[in-house]
Amino acid sequence: MPVSALTENLKNNNGNVDQKDGVTSPSQDIPISGGQSLTREVSRSMHARESFSFGTSPDQQRHRPTFSRPSHESGSPHLTRTMTGAAPKKLQPFREQDVKILLLENVNKTGQDVLREQGYQVEALKSSLPEDQLIERIKDVHVLGIRSKTKLNSRVLAAAKNLIVIGCFCIGTNQVDLKYAADHGICVFNSPFSNSRSVAELVIAEIITLARQLGDRSNEMHAGTWNKVSSKCWEVRGKTLGIVGYGHIGSQLSVMTEAMGMKVIYYDVVNLMSLGTAHQVSSLDELLKGADFITLHVPEIPETKNMISTAQFEVMKTGSYLINASRGSVVDIPALIEASRNGKIAGAALDVYPSEPAGNGDYFNNELNSWCEDLRRLKNIILTPHIGGSTEEAQSAIGIEVAESLVRYVNEGVTVGAVNMPEVTLRSLTMDQEDHARVIFIHQNVPGVLGRVNKVLSDHNVDKQMSDSRGDMAYMMADISNVRQAEIETLYKDLEGLKERIITRILY
3-22 confidence digits (pLDDT tens): 444 444 433 444 443 443 43
Instruction: Tell me if 25 is assigned to some domain.
Output: no
How many domains are contained in the chain? 2
Q: How many CB atoms lie within 10 A of CB 316?
A: 23
Give residue 6's Cα distance to chain centre. Answer: 17
Domain span holding position 221: 196-383
Instruction: Tell me if 439 is assigned to some domain.
Output: no
Whether 54 has a pLDDT exceeding 60, the answer reads: no
Same domain for 359 and 409, yes or no, is no
Same domain for 373 and 406, yes or no, is no
Same domain for 329 and 300, yes or no, is yes
Instruction: Tell me if 493 is assigned to some domain.
Output: no
Whether 311 has a pLDDT exceeding 50, the answer reads: yes
Q: How many CB atoms lie within 10 A of CB 302?
A: 9
Instruction: Tell me if 416 is assigned to some domain.
Output: yes
pTM of the model: 0.76
Higher pLDDT, 194 or 32: 194
Taking a C-beta distance cutoff of 8 angstroms, is the pair 403, 115 a contact? yes
Residue 506 pLDDT: 87
User: Could you tell me the sign of the dihedral formed by the alpha carbons of 440, 433, 426, 53, in that order?
Assistant: negative
Catalytic positions: 327, 356, 386
Same domain for 296 and 354, yes or no, is yes
Average pLDDT of 63-77? Answer: 38
Instruction: Tell me if 237 is assigned to some domain.
Output: yes
267 forms beta bridges with 244
Q: What is the pLDDT of residues 325-359, one digit of tens each?
A: 999 999 999 999 999 999 999 999 999 999 998 77
Residue 221 pLDDT: 97
Q: What is the pLDDT of residues 464-493, one digit of tens each?
A: 999 999 999 999 999 998 888 788 888 989
Instruction: Tell me if 344 is assigned to some domain.
Output: yes
> Rg (Cα) of the chain, in Å, rounded?
26
Higher pLDDT, 425 or 436: 425
Same domain for 300 and 418, yes or no, is no
**Average pLDDT taken over every residue of the chain:** 84
Same domain for 168 and 240, yes or no, is no
Q: What CATH number does residue 280 fall under?
A: 3.40.50.720
Taking a C-beta distance cutoff of 8 angstroms, is the pair 246, 269 a contact? no
Angle CA 311–312–315, to nearest 5:
95
Residue 15 pLDDT: 40
**Of 91-95, 266-270, 432-436, which gets the smallest average pLDDT?**
91-95
Strands (E), 353-419: 381-383
Q: What is the pLDDT of residues 139-183, one digit of tens each?
A: 999 999 999 889 999 999 999 999 999 999 998 898 999 999 999
Give residue 272's Cα distance to chain centre. Answer: 23
What is the C-alpha separation between 121 and 114, in angstroms, rounded? 12
- % of the chain exceeding 90 in pLDDT: 70
Same domain for 274 and 407, yes or no, is no
